[in-house]
Amino acid sequence: MPEIWIPYGDTESLVTLGAENLGELIEPVQDSLAEEEVERLRGSLAEFSDLVICDCKPSTLEVVKRLLGEGAVEGGKRIIAADPRRVESRLPELRGQVRGGGEKVSLPNERIDLKVPTQLEEDTSRLVLSTGEPDPLLGILDSKVALPFAFVTNSRRLAYESRTSDEPAPFSQTSSAEALKGVAERFRNSTFVTVIPRGSRPHRLLRDASFDAVKNSFVTLSPPRARAAIIGVGGEGYDDTFSDALRLVWSSIGCVKEAGEVLLVCECGEGLGSDALEMLITGRMSDQGTTKKNKEVYVEGLEELHYLRKLKGSYSVILMSGLPELYARTKLGFATARGSAEAVGKLLGKLGRTAKVNVVTRACECSLSSD
């Protein structure tokens, strides 16, 4: 009987399926580490005054640790992070050495009040580092998109208002991403490095790479679609919130038939994640994105309400997470399960004991389309 381990927060959940039930197993595994690429980057580190860390993904922080080594940062180099406390908590050797972006100043924009940290406005050479991941609004969140997304106030609104469609479009070139790249071009003397993960570890490092180069570095498959799929979002750094899961599931949804069953595995240890989802849960916003006064206003994550409606309208979803039942079942309207045995039992109970189920262990590392 196949035993499959799916990342769940900082641990893994064992999913057991009968051989007669297992369809395709899509499990990105680490086949090589980016050893030479990290060493080359480390050799050129003296060229940069600042190291800018856009996220706290395990693969990003592993590269940071290997670049800087142990002890104090040498050469007066500044480490700037979107979330300094989290970086320091996961890399204790950097405690007291990581700073935020500082005070913000406005950027010229006719429609939206964009504000950028003053430290990123300085004319210094910087290395910008993030882990690439699929995104339904931005297509791919590479380091050039991640910089404004993480540091520039109202960049998420700019991305939302620049969209040409509400449909999720992971691994596509989108107008929203182009709008953010336009902001990133303001930061002169920046080198953008995107980490490609495999098994949550750095698989490749792409320096100032094109969209196609980043996209083609992900696992790309077209498995036969099944009536059901078990989709793991990716574990720590990827399933911290329901917002994360809701954005990442679209990269792998192509492996399940329309109106099929989806078991979504995501810990959500930090809750819902976005302002829009919080307002939906508390009744301050409808799932159409309007407030009680029937006004359309932008709040962070507004596009996620469409993704939520589409997910629930197109598939029958069982949510295995740490969200309270009041949120997951009552407010969001999902069937729920607290453990993998209960979740798989519910899934096969709806489909029949001989149904085929595709399994994706890390949606954050895959690009799956229907056959």
Query: CATH number for the domain including 85?
Result: 3.40.50.11440
**Residue 333, CA distances (Å) to 264, 309, 343 in order:** 14, 10, 16
The verdict on 24 and 89 lying in the same domain is no
The verdict on 42 and 90 lying in the same domain is yes
pLDDT in tens, 178-234: 999 999 988 888 999 999 999 989 999 999 999 999 999 999 988 999 999 999 999
Q: Is residue 207 part of a domain?
A: no
pLDDT in tens, 35-83: 889 999 999 998 899 999 999 999 999 999 999 886 566 667 899 999 9
The verdict on 262 and 334 lying in the same domain is yes
Half-sphere exposure of 72 (CA within 13 A, CB side): 3
Q: Is residue 339 part of a domain?
A: yes
The verdict on 112 and 166 lying in the same domain is yes
Looking at residue 113, its pLDDT comes to 84
Separation CA 102–CA 216 (nearest Å)? 36
The verdict on 51 and 179 lying in the same domain is yes
Q: Is residue 214 part of a domain?
A: no
* Domain end among 198, 231, 262: 198
- The side-by-side arrangement of strands in the sheet containing 126-131 is 98-99, 78-81, 50-53, 126-131, 190-198, 201-207
Domain region containing 51: 35-198
Looking at residue 292, its pLDDT comes to 63
pLDDT in tens, 138-159: 999 999 999 999 999 999 999 9
Q: Is residue 205 part of a domain?
A: no
The one-letter amino acid code at 255 reads: C
Burial class (CB in 10 A: 0-12, 13-18, 19+), 296: exposed
In sequence order, which ranges of 91-174 are alpha helices (DSSP H)? 118-121, 143-151, 155-161
Domain total of the chain: 2
Element (H, E) at 134: strand 134-135
φ/ψ (deg, to 5) at 229: -145, 145
The verdict on 158 and 246 lying in the same domain is no
Q: What is the value of pTM for the model shown?
A: 0.92
The verdict on 83 and 178 lying in the same domain is yes
The verdict on 44 and 138 lying in the same domain is yes
